[in-house]
Chain A
């Protein structure tokens, strides 16, 4: 079958789709301590030596 190319933006996500890890930002809190997302993404690419 000669199938034409499909544009990725034309393919929907799941109805039950959820955000990526660490993507919840709480509105109205004085301290954003829900998830240490930035630290996790940057340092997992080039982690400092694990201590234990």
Chain B
């Protein structure tokens, strides 16, 4: 395969690796794309960005007229997507090697682009394309603790909408989506699955996570039983991984921080327990002191596991 030398240089070391004139060129491309993004954003009504910020701060969507109109009126959603496409395509025509400076994700048949992002709220553009996939509906669905409102900008697709109440089978309703359809999903209780796409389905999605999201659950549709559970709290999972890294680095100077995390009742039990594990591994005596403290707390959910682990590890020493 032929790879242009300029592209190869960028791949190998990024803009830093380029000789001076090319490096300035790479920065100029980035600056052009960033300016196009800024200009596009500034061309949007100030009320829209104000509403979006207010939504991120916790306001109800129905109290935000400009944002509500965007998510419920097809012509407004279409105009926003069209203006974004026009602005980004013009920038790319000018700088064909430019990168559209929005967060994005691509997987088979699905591309998403984050248009606006402010704390826990995100406005994204999602495009579902026809793929050769399972025709039958899956037998599980994932329920996430996140507010979600969507409007179809163009295209057609068929799918299902699920409603979940713990202890009962999941209620499933077949849906056909076409331009102009919009929906709001209740956090943790409602979800939808796109099953087959007839023509590329373009959607605007507005989502907002709670401050401390509850776990995401994969539920068996037939019975309503939970098949899997994962943390809904990104920050807690990041902290858990960071804790494991501290342990792997042998960071004995982090023992105080680990103890603080382990004893903090407000944190996720998984994160606190990982702090206990890593403390024990870094310094068994410090870890045992932590187990003693936890085991003595009658009302702490970690008291029983701490007491059991202490008995298991230190039975002979006792």
Asked whether any CB of chain A lies closer than 8 Å to the CB of B186, the reply is no
Contacts of A6 in B (CB 8 A): 280-281, 284, 287, 313
B134 in complex: contacting residue of A28, A33, A40, A44, CB < 8 Å: A28
A29 in complex: contacting residue of B115, B193, B231, B238, CB < 8 Å: B193
Contacts of A36 in B (CB 8 A): 105, 112
Residues in A7-42 with C-beta less than 8 Å from chain B = 7-8, 11-24, 26-36, 38-40
Complex Cα spacing A37 to B115, Å: 17
Q: In the bound complex, do residue A39 and residue B229 qualify as a contact, i.e. CB atoms below 8 Å apart?
A: no
- How many contacts A-B (CB < 8 Å)? 149
Q: In the bound complex, do residue A52 and residue B52 qualify as a contact, i.e. CB atoms below 8 Å apart?
A: yes
Number of interface residues of B (CB under 8 A): 69
Complex Cα spacing A13 to B238, Å: 17
Secondary structure at chain B's binding surface: helix, strand, loop or mixed? Answer: mixed
Asked whether any CB of chain A lies closer than 8 Å to the CB of B70, the reply is no
Asked whether any CB of chain A lies closer than 8 Å to the CB of B288, the reply is yes
Q: In the bound complex, do residue B107 and residue A48 qualify as a contact, i.e. CB atoms below 8 Å apart?
A: no
Q: In the bound complex, do residue A19 and residue B231 qualify as a contact, i.e. CB atoms below 8 Å apart?
A: yes
Complex Cα spacing A42 to B313, Å: 38
Complex Cα spacing A47 to B34, Å: 14
Contacts of A7 in B (CB 8 A): 281
Complex Cα spacing A38 to B110, Å: 14
With A28-B134, A36-B112, A39-B104 as given contacts, are A51 and B41 in contact (CB-CB < 8 Å)? yes
B116 to chain A, nearest CB (A): 5
Complex Cα spacing A14 to B229, Å: 14
Asked whether any CB of chain A lies closer than 8 Å to the CB of B82, the reply is no
Complex Cα spacing A8 to B237, Å: 19
Q: In the bound complex, do residue A30 and residue B103 qualify as a contact, i.e. CB atoms below 8 Å apart?
A: no
Complex Cα spacing A8 to B241, Å: 14
Q: In the bound complex, do residue A34 and residue B270 qualify as a contact, i.e. CB atoms below 8 Å apart?
A: no
Contacts of B215 in A (CB 8 A): 18
Interface, chain B (partner A; CB < 8 A) = 34, 37, 41, 49, 52-53, 56, 101-105, 107-110, 112, 114-118, 126, 128, 131, 133-134, 136, 138-142, 144, 193-196, 215-216, 218, 228-234, 236-238, 240-241, 247, 269-270, 273, 277-278, 280-281, 284-285, 287-288, 305, 309, 313, 317
Interface, chain A (partner B; CB < 8 A) = 1, 3-8, 11-24, 26-36, 38-40, 43-44, 47-52
